[in-house]
Structure 1
Amino acid sequence: MRLIQVLIPEGTRETVLEALDEEGIDYAVFDEVGRGDFEAMVQFPVPPSGVETVMDRLTDAGVREDAYTVVLPTETVVSQRLSALVERFPGLRISREELYARAQDLAPANSTFFAFILLSTIIATTGLLLDSAATIIGAMVVAPLMGPAISASVGTILDDVNMTRRGVLLQVTGLLAAILTGAVMGWLLQQTILIPPELDIRTIPQVAERTSPNFLSLFLALGSGIAGSLSIMRGSGSTLVGVAIAVALIPPAATSGLGIAFGLWGVALAAAVLVLVNLLAINLSALLLFWVAGFKPLEAGKFEGVRASVFSRVVVIAIGIAVLSIALGAVTWTTFQTQSLERQVQVDMEQRFAEADIEGVELVSVTVDYEPADMLVGEQPQVNVLVGIPRDLDAPPDLAQRWDDELTETLGRDVVVRVGFVEAQVSESEPRDPPLGWPNLAGGDRAHVHPTAA
């Protein structure tokens, strides 16, 4: 519920109160003696979704758009007419005046914004190198990216050019600052003993997750933008939703910076593409949701111009996402193909060993070294098979080539097969005392695997 206080200009008291009566609103009127161009102040309660409608009606009744108006949230209102108002305005959408005020509050001062950007990127970079999801999530609580994303969309919908320009500028410069911070931090850490000198950041799962963007990343960004817009429109959970928006932007920006620091330009470019796609998707979803919700410019008569502006921005952002989605589609398709290949090889090898059923011979593991990047550049999949055999059984010398030929025929593509053999001992089902001189490990015998040759 909202409590509205409005100053009534001279000569419009009767028409304003008549408009409130026609709307079925209980009100209280106080004489105004502090300013000569106003004769009274009226105060009345109205549901959140009815604020915009009632204020438009008062504007038609003579209340100027620049008049002194206060909209306050209230916990409890007792009024005979309130139930009828609630039924008439059942929604939870706030007014455009409240939306504008909240968007202004969400975009902090420049110094505060960039301070939090730097701090969140430092924490996120640390979390990436530590492979700590909890640390990365903690960094997202600090990141202030929700405000500029929302204010850019609100400024577009309400035809506030300055708000739109500042929101876009903060997003772009903030993410560039995050990438630069990640690069500088990565370079500095390489000069210390805090990370191994030969560290390959591509092997860190949290980093690898941001260097293989697919269409699922796009859904994360779209959902974050919609959630952010809803939280502002309905005044709930904006802080937590801001974490979701930051997750889509800061970690990949920090990953791009690390790629630059370690000289891995493929990592830097892939993460930068993810940042840009997520940024566009967040802004697109927020802009569309505010438009669908029916928000209009603060000044009357600008609706047609805003509609054209929103349409052009949506088209430009959609084209940008479509172009970048080519990269997302390539990664999605190659990831599916490589994982399908690995699974097919594993099933094929397991079936071969099951059919052979050679006593004492077991399939220890089957792995496939084949990344999406390898597929794009035409590299052959490398199949690594580890076989356990008894000491008294000789391994066939041409086994790798035989499996290579068979898998090539089955898969319809060339592969490279490497076979490794280990001496395998399998424990008996019944426990027995260990031989003299052998330690009693964990109270009984265990299987021992000794590597021989690969």
Structure 2
Amino acid sequence: MLHLRVICPADESASVVGFLGTEPGVAHVVVAEGVSRQPVGDVVEAVVARKAAEDVVRRLAEQGVSRRGQISLQSVDVLLSESAAAAERNAPGEDADAVIWEELVATTGEESRINPVYLGFLTIACLLAAAGVITDSAITLVGAMVVSPDFGPLAALAVAAVGRRHELAARAALALCVGYPVAMLVTAALTLVAHLGGLFEAGDLANLHEASFVYEVGPFSVIVALLAGVAGMIALTSAKPSTLVGVFISVTTVPAAGFAVLAAVAGDWGRCGEAALQLLINLSGVSVAATLTLLVRRKHVGPGPAPGRGAPEPAR
């Protein structure tokens, strides 16, 4: 269940309460009259079944509540209520199929912001990938995949494409187009330092076994990227973030970037090109598959707010 909080002018609270009272997936509607100061008005709260939340938010936004007030949702971890349980049973559909569009926009929007934390994680991931290649350590490469934050911008591109959110698309593209060059340049600089210190030699790339998948492009490069994109978007829209860890591990993005840097420093431009192609294939495959999956998911559960209408992109 989700906790719904609506702030609206006093002359609109009656229609909000009336609407919530007719929804089968809503329970425990509470009205606090006159407590809001900006805007001046009432606060209406309720609990909503996750599978009904998208429709409830969409219809409230169509009433103009989000323009003159506020609509917010918060997950409820523990709720003991027979009325709420009945509302959850009576709401059509399944919780696992629920796609709450504004929640998805807010999540991907936050994860695709380019900031020191994002750049730090991506750079650390690229350095870990380079270390994994030098030591031919699959475990270190897996660690680099887990640390990498690049699925956020890729998911944001999918959300932007489906919802026609141009600002979100620009933000995600900037995060990828700036983040990867920065991470790779820092990795290249430290690789040169390692080379001068005798920690890295060109011959270290000659006999790789565990790390060879990083740069070897083949049919499975495309297949894995597509499957990862599908799994990632299903996990994101089903509120199952733990599944995303498996998605991170399956995608050869950061390891390919790290290998490309090492190959460039070593003067092995052939394998540098292969690794760069592997990176491009994985980024493109994940993004395309995530977009197609989201299109299918939204068609299955019904339309959310029309592009450019309804609630504005949630602020963070």
**TM-score normalised by the chain length of structure 2:** 0.84
2:79 is the alignment partner of 1:76: yes
Confirm or deny that 1:6 pairs with 2:10. no
Which residue does 1:21 correspond to in 2?
21
Match of 2:154 among 133, 141, 149: 149
The match for 1:280 is 284
Using a 3 Å threshold, how does the CA distance of structure 1 residues 13 and 107 change in structure 2: closer, same or farther? same
Q: Secondary structure at the match of 1:213?
A: coil
CA deviations on 1:421-450 (whole Å, 9 max, x unpaired) are xxxxxxxxxxxxxxxxxxxxxxxxxxxxxx
Question: Does the 8 A contact of 1:96 with 1:296 survive in 2?
Answer: no
Say which of 116, 133, 136 aligns to 2:121.
116
**Residues 183-192 or 69-78, more deviating:** 183-192
**What does 1:86-125 align with in structure 2 at a 5 Å threshold?**
86-87=89-90, 88-92=92-96, 93-125=98-130
Mark the structure with the bigger radius of gyration.
1
Mapped partners of 1:62, 1:253: distance in 2: 46
The alignment covers a number of residue pairs equal to 301
- CA separation in 2, counterparts of 1:242 and 1:115? 21
Q: What does 1:7-406 align with in structure 2 at a 5 Å threshold?
A: 7-24=7-24, 25-26=26-27, 27-35=29-37, 38-61=40-63, 63-65=65-67, 67-74=69-76, 75-80=78-83, 82-87=85-90, 88-92=92-96, 93-195=98-200, 199=203, 201-236=205-240, 237=242, 240-241=245-246, 243-244=248-249, 247-294=251-298, 298=305
SS in 2 for 1:43: strand
Any idea what SS the aligned residue of 1:34 has?
strand
Tell me the amino acid that sits aligned with residue 269 of structure 2. Answer: W
Structure 1 residue 284 displacement after superposition: 0.5
Contact 2:142-2:249 within 8 A present in 1 as well: no
One-letter amino acid of the counterpart of residue 282, structure 2: N
User: Are 1:131 and 1:206, in contact at CA under 8 Å, matched by a contact in 2?
Assistant: yes
Instruction: Render the CA deviation track for 1:121-167: whole Å, top value 9, x for unaligned.
Output: 11211111111111111222322112211122223333332221111
More helix by percentage: 2
Kindly indicate whether the alpha-carbon contact (under 8 Å) linking 1:12 and 1:61 is maintained by their aligned counterparts in 2: no
Change (3 A) 1:36 1:106: closer
Report the AA paired with residue 60 of structure 2: L
Query: Do the aligned partners of residues 169 and 16 (structure 1) sit closer, same or farther apart at CA in structure 2, a change above 3 Å counting?
Result: same
Q: Is the 8 A contact 1:2 1:48 kept in 2?
A: yes
Task: Determine if contact 1:158/1:296 at 8 Å carries over to the other structure.
Answer: no
Across the aligned residues of Structure 1 and Structure 2, the Cα RMSD in angstroms comes to 2.6
Note the alpha carbon deviations across 1:154-197, whole angstroms, 9 max, x for none.
Answer: 233333322211111211232333443444344333323324x5
Could you state the TM-score of these two structures normalised by the residue count of structure 1? 0.60
Whether the 8 Å contact between 1:132 and 1:206 is mirrored in structure 2 is: yes
Q: Given that residues 10 and 40 in structure 2 are in contact (C-alpha distance below 8 angstroms), is that contact kept between their aligned partners in structure 1? A: yes
Which stretches of structure 1, 4 residues or longer, exceed 6 Å deviation after superposition? none
Q: Which has the higher contact order (CA 8 A, sep 6+)?
A: 2
Give the C-alpha shift of residue 252 in structure 1.
Answer: 0.9
Which residue number in structure 2 is paired with residue 348 of structure 1?
Answer: none
CA contact (8 A) 1:225 1:282 kept: yes
Distance 1:270 1:37 in 2: 57
User: What is the CA–CA distance in structure 2 between the aligned matches of 1:100 and 1:301, rounded to whole Å?
Assistant: 13
Partner amino acid, structure 1, of 2:134: L
C-alpha contact 2:202 2:266 (8 A) present in aligned 1: no
Residue 157 of structure 1 contacts residue 296 of structure 1 at CA under 8 Å; is this kept in 2? no
Q: Percent identity?
A: 23
Q: Structure 1 residues 59 and 171 mapped into 2: Cα distance closer, same or farther (>3 Å)?
A: closer
